Every structure is written in structure tokens, then in C-alpha cells.
Amino acid sequence: MPSLVVIGAQWGDEGKGKIVHLIGKNSDYIVRYQGGNNAGHTVVFDGKHFVLHLLPSGILEPGKKCVLGNGLVIDPAAFKEEVEFFENRKIKVRGRLYVSLAAHVILPYHKYLDTLRETASKSGAIGTTRKGIGPAYSDKVGRTGIRVADYLEPELFQTLLDQNLKEKEPLLSQVKPIKQIRQEIMKDYRELRDFMEQFATDTTILLSNAIKKDQRMLFESAQGTMLDVDFGTYPYVTSSNPIAGGACSGAGVGPRYIDEVLGVIKAYTTRVGDGPFPTELNSAEGNYLQSKGQEFGATTGRRRRCGWFDALVVKHAFRINGIKRFALTKLDVLEGLDPIRICVGYKVGSKTLSNFPVSRTLQANSVPIYKNFRGFKGNLRELKDFSAFPLEARRFVKEIEKAVDAKCALVSMGKSREETLILDKDFPWLQ
């Protein structure tokens, strides 16, 4: 039953899609356990570039079974569109993709509410993807949500829909009359419902049977620990638990069945949307990272904010997720910068912090303390052996290991899975 959870240990977009695709070839099941189509996971495969929003990155590997767990919020229209996108490209999806009956659905009114909240006041905006994620999770926790199982029962669905529209009318009527929203939903309902039915099942039974048969499980997180609703930079977070613990509640798998957690980190830091970001660079160096790293949001196309590697962020994430091994991505992007830096502490007034603070006031006022290192030159992407890397690049990796107290198992220096080196010979997940 070997099982691995792959999480992002910064603010998302660490390269989880690439790493899951790489490890996924040795897994039997690839399971998403939280989030929705706010995610954008890029996989470069056979020279083609795919962005997955809802489907696990393992879907590109023929024959692998893929699961969307109960912890997700699923927009039925976005789901259908994504499945058809892959099927139109001759990637067989039906028969190996399973959707939890207990996942919640995102309906158009969730997206309207998301946009209303984002536009109501500038100071209250989070910079969400406006995919309806927050409002759908609010309904789930508020016990008014509609689950996939409810969506499949037409009478029950309409009763729940009407209750929701009535409750939300004071806000929704700012967008359009609820009668019109209802019509919008009912216009496509039959088609979307019938489509969803082909995939919906009790995924806990499927997963528990697979575990009994010793199948290899790979849990794929969306977003990153700094966007976690409990441990991220609240309120500038998403509305779910991307941390490894979320795999248990979001897939219905007991903690005893999780063997390891792999953290994915970039050699620098990025963030899309608003919120504190102590090492953010509003300078030529930030622009260099942004343009060389092609840092644009895979879901919204927004320019990602860029900054130096922040060891306080990653230490915080590794502590919460129990990480001892990590994959380091985008080392190639640092090439050409000199010096390169790692943030090892924060100054707030006369105080020095060595751990990422919980207080939003401290987060907003933290000034990074850096350790500087010599930059490196040369195209890492062509190198097949870590010992052939420039000394400065190798030293930077070692310094990251030291700063975050964990071992670098994989180094990624390009988009494709071939552009990855295994540094930890005991890393079992690619064997």
C-alpha cells in the first residue's frame, strides 16, 4: 500500500504538476483531495504543454486510475469541459476517472458571490481566481452545500437549489434576478448531471480496496501550504487544506496509510493574488525571475509576484507537513543572477524572527534578512549529472537543505520530466 502525498510548500505553482506526472508513472492511483479548478498544474509531455485544473496530473499517463476526492469542490461545467478537452486529444479518460459522491458542486451563483466579494471593496479583496471556491466551501461548512450525490437526484437538487437561491437572494439580486440565475442553471442541468453520473461513485470504497491490494497511491495537492486556510497567510488563502493532513479528510483515507510526504519548492518564491510576501522583489531582479521563469498564473494568466527563496516559509511548511525530503524546481531560472539570496530571518522593528509569524501585522511588516551566495552561469537543462552542475549551483542546493533541515531528493531544471535529477539514491518513489 505504499502511498505518497505531494504538496506545495510555498504559495502554489511550485511545479507540483510536473513532479506528480514524473512520480505518477510508478503509481496506480493519483488522487486529488482538495481545491477545485482554481488550480493550474502544468505538465509538459511529448513536447506538448497541458494545464490541468481539476483532473489529477496522472490522467496523462495511460491506464492510471485517477480520483477526485470528497474534499474537492467541482464545477460540473468545468469538469465536463476538461474531460472533453483530453478526450478530444485521444487521451482516454472514461473508465479510469472517479469522482466522489460526497464532493461538493460549484454552481454559477458561487462564482457570482466570489466576484461580488472581490469587487465590494478594495481592502476586502483576496485576489481570488473567481471560480467560486470560497463560496462553495462556505456552503459546505455552513451545511447548505450541494454534494455530487444531491446533484444527481433531480428533485432533491431543485429543492436545495431553491433554498440556496432564496437564502442568497439579497446578494445575488445585485447581479441579476434569482429567477434568471435559476434558469441559467437548469438550462444545462440535465446534460451536466448525466455527464457527471458516469464518473460518480463512493471513492472511499475504491481507495480502500486499492489499499488492500497494495496498489501504489499518489495524493496530489493543489495550491500550497501558505494558501492553507489554517496555516497560510489568513485571510489571503484559499478555502481548503492543501497540507498533507488534508489528504486523509479529503480522500477518506486513514493516516496510517500515508507513508511519506514530499514537499515541492521553487528555488525562489512566487505568489498570485494579494497578501503578505516578505521576500517580494519589486526590482529588476524580480522582473528577471518573472520573465525567465515565465511566471504567469496557469489558471488566470495573472503575472505572478516574484521574490527570493524564503527559508522561514518553507521551514513552516515542512514542519506542518512532516517533510524530510523535497523536490527543488526551477533552479535553472536563477542562472545569470549574482548574487542569489536565501532569506534566513525577518526583522520587525527591533525584533528578529526565525520562524514565520502567525500575526498578520507581523507578516505584513517582516523585512527579510538575507544570506547571499555567488550566482552561477551555464545551461543546467543540458546536464545529466548533479556533479556536473556549477559549484555555486550545488552550493545553493546544499544551503537550502541546511536552511530548511530536509534533504533534496529531486532537482528539476526544466519543464519536462526528463529535465529532472534524482539526488537521493534512497528515494523509493521512482523505483
* Region from 23-31, 69-77, 184-192, 406-414 binding ligand GDP, contact rule CB under 6 A: 406-414
* Region from 6-14, 68-76, 138-146, 168-176 binding ligand IMO, contact rule CB under 6 A: 6-14
| CA separation for the pair 407, 419 (Å, rounded) | 19
User: Does residue 13 interact with Mg ion by CB under 5 A?
Assistant: yes
* Region from 39-47, 110-118, 317-325, 406-414 binding Mg ion, contact rule CB under 5 A: 39-47
The set of cell numbers assigned to 403 is 536552511
Interface of this chain with ligand IMO, residues 195 to 224, rule: CB under 6 A: 222-224
User: Does residue 298 interact with Mg ion by CB under 5 A?
Assistant: yes
**Annotated catalytic residue: which of 21, 28, 41, 114?**
41
**Which residues sit opposite 219 in a β-bridge?**
5, 31
The set of cell numbers assigned to 275 is 497578501
Place of cell 497541458: 50
**Is residue 110 flagged as an active site residue?**
no
Least distance to ligand GDP from the beta carbon of 329, Å?
Answer: 4
Q: Could you tell which of Mg ion, ligand GDP, ligand IMO, none binds residue 126, using a CB distance below 5 to 8 A set by kind?
A: ligand IMO
The set of cell numbers assigned to 314 is 518553507
* Region from 63-71, 128-136, 173-181, 316-324 binding ligand IMO, contact rule CB under 6 A: 128-136
DSSP string covering 258-314: --EEEEEEESSEEE-SSS--TTB--SHHHHHHHHHTT-B-TTT-PBPEEE-EEHHHH
* Region from 108-116, 168-176, 317-325, 413-421 binding ligand GDP, contact rule CB under 6 A: 413-421
User: Does residue 40 interact with ligand IMO by CB under 6 A?
Assistant: yes
User: Does residue 221 interact with ligand GDP by CB under 6 A?
Assistant: no
Q: Which of 32, 64, 65, 131 binds ligand IMO (CB under 6 A)?
A: 131
User: Does residue 133 interact with ligand IMO by CB under 6 A?
Assistant: yes
**What binding mask, one character per residue, do residues 102-141 give for ligand GDP by CB under 6 A, x or -?**
----------------------------------------
The set of cell numbers assigned to 14 is 511550485
Residue 283 makes CB contacts below 8 A (sequence gap 6+) with none
The set of cell numbers assigned to 165 is 437561491
**Annotated catalytic residue: which of 13, 75, 228, 310?**
13
In contact, 170 and 112? CB cutoff 8 Å = no
The set of cell numbers assigned to 158 is 431543485
The set of cell numbers assigned to 402 is 541546511
Nearer to ligand GDP, 45 or 189 (CB): 45
User: Does residue 329 interact with ligand GDP by CB under 6 A?
Assistant: yes
User: Does residue 271 interact with ligand GDP by CB under 6 A?
Assistant: no
In contact, 417 and 26? CB cutoff 8 Å = no
The count of chain residues that interact with ligand IMO, using the rule CB under 6 A, is 23
Q: Which of 7, 272, 314, 320 binds ligand IMO (CB under 6 A)?
A: 272
Residue nearest to ligand IMO (CB): 273
Residue 257 makes CB contacts below 8 A (sequence gap 6+) with 1, 3, 211, 217
Q: Could you tell which of ligand GDP, Mg ion, ligand IMO, none binds residue 133, using a CB distance below 5 to 8 A set by kind?
A: ligand IMO
Nearer to ligand GDP, 110 or 266 (CB): 266
Task: Tell me the backbone φ, ψ of residue 337, rounded to 5 degrees.
Answer: -95, 140
In angstroms, how far is CA 105 from the centroid of its own chain?
19
List the alpha helices (DSSP H) in 69-152: 76-87, 108-120, 133-141, 148-151
**Is residue 104 flagged as an active site residue?**
no
Using DSSP, state whether 77 is helix, strand or coil.
Answer: helix
Q: Which of 315, 414, 421, 429 binds ligand GDP (CB under 6 A)?
A: 414
Task: Tell me the backbone φ, ψ of residue 138, rounded to 5 degrees.
Answer: -60, -45
For 401, the enclosing helix (H) or strand (E) is: helix 391-404
| CA separation for the pair 136, 150 (Å, rounded) | 14
| CA separation for the pair 423, 331 (Å, rounded) | 14
User: Does residue 295 interact with Mg ion by CB under 5 A?
Assistant: no
Least distance to ligand GDP from the beta carbon of 224, Å?
Answer: 8
Q: Which of 333, 383, 408, 409 binds ligand GDP (CB under 6 A)?
A: 333
Binding interface with Mg ion (CB under 5 A):
13, 40, 298
Residues annotated as part of the active site: 13, 41
Binding site residues, ligand GDP, CB under 6 A: 8, 12-18, 40-42, 44, 298, 329-330, 332-333, 412-415
